[in-house]
Amino acid sequence: MKRKNDQSWKPLAHLLSACGIPWIWYLADFIFSLLISMVTVRLPQMTGAIMQGEIFDKGLLADYVGITVFSMLLAFFSTVFGSWISLHTDRVLRKKIWEHFLYLPMTVYQTYKPSSLISRITQDTSGISYGISSCIGVLTNTWTIFLMLKNVYRMSPRMVVSMAVVVPWLILVSVVTGRFAFRASCRTQERFSDFTAVIAERLSNIRGIRIHGEELTELEKGREAARRQYEAELYQARVNLFSQPFIYTSEAFLKALFLIYGGFLISRGELEAGEFITIYMYLEMLPVFAIQYIFAYQTLKETQGASMRAGQLLLEPAEDLQKGDSLETLCQDIRFQDVSFRYGDRPVLSRATFTVPAGTTTAIVGPSGSGKTTVLQLLERFFVPDEGCILLGEKEIGDFRLRDWRSRFRMVSQNSPLLSGSLLSNLVYGSRQSPSEGQIEAAARQACSYGFICQLPKKFQSETGEMGKRFSAGERQRLALTRALAQDPEVLLLDEAVCHLDPVHASEVQDHIREQRKCRSCVIVTHDMNAARQAGHIVVLDRGTVCGEGDHDTLYETCGTYRRLYDRQQAGNC
């Protein structure tokens, strides 16, 4: 069984390879860093020469000042350039992940909470650029240490041996603390994602919380999520604190070793005082560079943990909208043939076989939870049957291009949220060819939305607000109907499309839809048996199985489930 915090590099590697990281700019930053390293190593040599007695050498002093100024300018431009690259990398990563999210199959969204996916884009990607910069820093530090040791060896080979004693121990510390850092980062990212999901879900349902008077309950849940995040962040802080004693111990040990051993070599005449000053300046710098290995490894493990789930999502295959045969028109019957489907471990459809005739209205009826809405989602190819197949004529619908297929359908669901923006932008959303103003107005009249739109100050240019919450549920449903009718699809899918409307508007809208259904295929999911009766073809589902198919008269005589649903509603209307 795979561990939850599996320390695999594959998701991170895939994330870096798939997102178009500007490696050429990182190469330029690396070259900048190498130049800075060369200058950094040169300055202690010049300082040692000056302290050796060449302080009155004007050429040496001029070179020292020039190199110092040059190093400052290089450091400034390298910092600015590096910051720009990091910001650009963060933007590229977020853009790529968002693009991939848009094309992920719906099965992925059944596995992950959409609210938790927010942090995959906003939070998990923020440390990638820092991790890359840390890797460049490791390469630069390695080059710098090599130059230092080379110069020290030239002055005193014995000092090189003493300087190298502590390096293996520092590497060991980096590995141990890095593994702790990985686990801490995974825990922190997971708790942050959970906390984001809790807050996002509660804010989107704040009205229900107020109605049921559960403010205190939700307050406690929010506090609990915040407490878990705090504990994860506290654990990560403890891990970071854990490495500090090792760092300070290493630095103190290295300095003490050099001072004692260097003084001994000077007393024996094996080392000049100026050379010792140069080596001591390297001594001050070497722990800083060596310790960067620890921090770089920790950062890389944190980056690995932070990007693990985002990288795993990128490993999920996206839908290929262009693969398959072109589709000109839906002029043939659609047949479900022994279709079985389940959400996770919950079966929804079981060997369902029925036909959706072309050019007519098919009503799908049945008790709640019988799989009616799932049929519409399978028609739109949001999901693929676990068993069986769906045919257009004699050909499986999976053989057609997904973009061509979906462009033939428009669906109006029970909940019809709108996107932020103007009404007009929502009404033309998804159109292959933007409908004319006359078509939009005609569709608005048919959906009974034209009246309240005209009462708005800016009419069709009015803002919808987030998720269209400036409008009631009934108004949003009528706007969704307006959009579907204005785009004139070949197949109209209606999932309880008038359930939020009052009886007057519902009746008027159904009359208009009935007229529109005469020239196109239409599939309606409804509990309104009177509306189902007027359909040319009816499919009855019960517990995921098809228990009847035909017109009203046939089903009323032969299908007990249909007759029971119809009689119960008629009795309720009396």
DSSP string for 48-108: HHIIIIITT-HHHHHHHHHHHHHHHHHHHHHHHHHHHHHHHHHHHHHHHHHHHHHTS-HHH
Average pLDDT over every residue of 302-329: 80
Greater confidence (296 vs 58) lies with 296
Helices (H), 268-336: 273-315
pLDDT digits (tens, 9 = 90+) for 417-431: 788 888 888 888 887
Alpha-carbon distances of 34 from 38, 45, 125, 143, 186, rounded to whole Å = 6, 17, 27, 7, 33
Residue 31 CA to residue 81 CA, distance in Å, equals 12
Average pLDDT over every residue of 399-411: 89
Query: Which pLDDT score, from 0 to 100, does residue 178 have?
Result: 64
3-state SS, residue 481:
helix
Residue 514 CA to residue 331 CA, distance in Å, equals 20
- % of the chain at pLDDT higher than 70: 86
Provide the 8-state DSSP code for 360: S
Average pLDDT, the chain: 80
Amino acid at 450: Y
Greater confidence (343 vs 468) lies with 343
- φ, ψ dihedrals at 519, nearest 5°: -115, 15
Task: For the chain, give the longest Cα–Cα distance.
Answer: 115
3-state SS, residue 321:
coil
Residue 205 CA to residue 346 CA, distance in Å, equals 26
Query: Which pLDDT score, from 0 to 100, does residue 340 have?
Result: 93
* Complete edge-to-edge strand list for the sheet that includes strand 491-495: 409-412, 491-495, 521-525, 361-365, 537-542, 545-550
Query: Which pLDDT score, from 0 to 100, does residue 341 have?
Result: 93
Query: Which pLDDT score, from 0 to 100, does residue 573 have?
Result: 61
pLDDT digits (tens, 9 = 90+) for 368-385: 888 898 999 999 999 999
Residue 141 CA to residue 147 CA, distance in Å, equals 10
Give the range among 123-132, 204-213, 233-242, 555-564 with minimum mean pLDDT: 204-213
Q: What is the pTM of this model?
A: 0.68
pLDDT digits (tens, 9 = 90+) for 8-60: 677 777 777 777 788 888 888 888 888 888 888 888 877 777 776 666 666 77
Give the range among 126-130, 190-194, 408-412 with minimum mean pLDDT: 126-130
Query: Which pLDDT score, from 0 to 100, does residue 96 have?
Result: 85
Contact 212, 203 (CB under 8 A): no
In this structure, the dihedral spanned by the alpha carbons of residues 246, 249, 255 and 261, taken in order and rounded to 10 degrees, is: -110
Q: What distance lies between CA 173 and its chain's CA centroid? A: 34
Residue labelled with tokens 């080379």: 150
